[in-house]
Structure 1
Amino acid sequence: MKKNYYQQLAFMGMLLIILFGFQKYRSKEKENFSDVHFIVNNTTALHLAEFDPNDLDEKQWQHLGFTKKQTSTILNYKKIVGGKFLSKEQFKKCFAVSEEKFSELEPYILLPENNREANMNGFAHFKKKSIMVSRKFNPDFYAVADWIKLGFSERQAEAIIKYKNYLGGSFVSKEKFKECFIISEENYQKLSSYLILPEKTPAGFNYYKNNSISGKTKIQYRPFDPNLLDTDGWKSLGFSDKQSQIIVNYRERNLKGSFKNLEDIQKCFVISTEKFEELKPFIRLNQESIAARHNTVPSEIKQQEKTDFSKIDLNSITFRQLLEFGFDEKAAGSMIGFRKKLGGFMNKEQILTTYNIDIPLMEKLLSTAQLNTSNVIKYTLTEAPEEWLKSHPYFKYSADKIIFYRLTEKDEKKLWKLLKIKPEYEAKMKLYLK
């Protein structure tokens, strides 16, 4: 009986140990994977130009958009393949380089396409020019042609100029010059002693300040009607984004659509007394626009004949004519403002996307009026002015990418691939491209 008792006791003990161990396993905290980073595309705009991946150090790989971990993987992979990448094909096999990232970099890589081509022809075709400099110079005064004469490629030269403009139009110091991705350590050592620049960056230097309009900058005012200005118009007068929006809201909500006199403008709390005195000589309160906004038409307009809307062009229809057709001032102002930002409508469907519009009434107008697109200005993607790109509703969100990528890529098909824009947005943009 004792034997059976001890056997049962031992069995129960083993069972308790197993249950305790299982419970401990179940309650164990989940392993922390916070240090694990997945390889993703870097969306930051890059200063791309031709480069040999065998020349890049850790910092330069990071300038290309790779993380520290990815950079370490690339450098280790280079050692594994013999200390040197022989071809684009070989570089592409590095798992730290995604398909998308390789597609972005591939046009700029100075390597043969594959190992076979490398073995047959060597690197003669891809050999970089040697940088040759014989006298001291100030790089701030160098144009693209001057950098090419020094030994840089055209793409590299354009990217160097772009970097200088990014700093505010001056390299500022040798220290800042060295930070340009295009300038390798080897080339910097060749150029350094010839640069007419301070060694160190001045204390307090801020390129954001250099690239923005100082509050003390003298604004060239012109006569304006405050009832016709949108937020962009108020910003051009020196107000911030937030101040401009407050002024427009104050006019539309508090004053029901218009400033009726100078006192109305002066009462807006974001317009200081000093600013109001600056603007006052240029303010032109047009009584006709005030009347139109309040649906009160002056007597001289009442006497005019009714508009034949079948002969009206939607790209030239006026605020008054829209009111005459039946739109309220908010809808009429929205359509005129949207048309102005676009530079003209290219199809009638665009007009229906206008904010605050009366859709049934607009459909009636679209079925009656004409649309002439012959005067709408169009550009190529490579030649469109920067200001136009940054202000156009269809381009402004991609403007910085377009301006950067077209610096080194002149083929528009390749440029579209680099931009990676959704088809529906690309279709809208192409309405305004040659």
Structure 2
Amino acid sequence: MMRKSYYQKLALMVIVLTILLAFQKYTSRNREPFPDVKFIASSASVNLSDFDPNILDRDQWQKLGFSEKQVSTILKYKDIVGGNFTSKEQLKKCYAISEEKFEELESFILLPKTSDKSKSKEFNTFAKKEINISGKFNPDRLSSGDWIKMGFSERQSEAILKYKNYLGGSFVSKEKFKECFIISPENYSKLEPYLILPAKTPENFRSFASNYPEKAKIQYHIFDPNILNVDGWKAFGFSDKQANIIVNYRDRNLRGSFKNLEDIQKCFVISAEKFQELKPYIKLNPITIKQEEIRQEKTDFSKTDLNTITFKQLIEFGLDERSASSIIGFRRKLGGFMNKEQILSTYNIDKELVQKLLSIAPLNNSNVPKYTLTDAPEEWLKDHPYFKYSADKIIFYRTTYPDDKKIWKFLKLKPEYEERMKLYLK
């Protein structure tokens, strides 16, 4: 009996142990890993030239390669900062503009690098200003001076009027008035009881913007875009800045003349809608095109240093604006090319044509600035494309270890990164 009891207990223990092992195996199974998600960014071909971001409309921002949502965010951000971007630094803070995209556009932006601190304070102190309201009023009838008297700054007042013009010359309703980003929720709650406007937006609101009266004032006529000056473009409804950009685009980027309608359409300050309005009146005179082409001086590219070659010379060789801009911009950031392979690795270029140029033109790198890791200026390290991602580490390590060999050991960079950085080191 005792032996029988012993074997029963032993069998029970084996069963329990088997169950425990099976449970452990089940709970410790490796789950199938979730696949990595990769986002593929598409890049549209953009013809770049100097531009003022304060005068671009939705269509023009999209021509620069931004999506509709990104454009909406940029324009909202512009309203929030007072209706105008004051510097490249301020524009860069807009989260809809990636660091890579900003670097692509930076050299073409017609804004100072940083803004005057006294101007930026104007917007920081806005929330503290008291709004003074004397009685009920129709905001459609207020001038910039009236908004200033109420407590808004001059630039904020201009932004409010621009928003009204964008709506078609009227705020339309309290709902639309509330959407003006310059007017904070706190200030709107103060203004709302005094507004002489309908509470709700009418169903036919979209017709307001299309009836904006400025268009009716433009008198179109037949014209040759190659002889039109700044005043001529302004007469067609362009602002002073837009007109200057068009003329510069024609004279500098296109070597003095529009060759076809497509050249005009590519100018990013001319929206698709505006181009369609102008198109019936455009008459390109072959004589003006031919004369401008004859005036071009021919460059001997076998004697033209790739570290001093100009934008116009690259265009003359046959490169498009995008390729030429990319090469000049990359060279400026590097401080000069050290070898021809760097030029060939530049983004957004016609590699086949550039390869042909490299086989003809010489490269002199004797004037390219070089430093050691210990004496390189901080600003240079932070701005240089090859050093900027390691700049803070280099600056930190060299305070304790003023020796290039030790700094390299601490950086622990990939060999290819270290190799290209050493091109600019003594």
TM-score by length of 2: 0.42
Where is the helix percentage greater, Structure 1 or Structure 2?
A: 2
TM-score by length of 1: 0.42
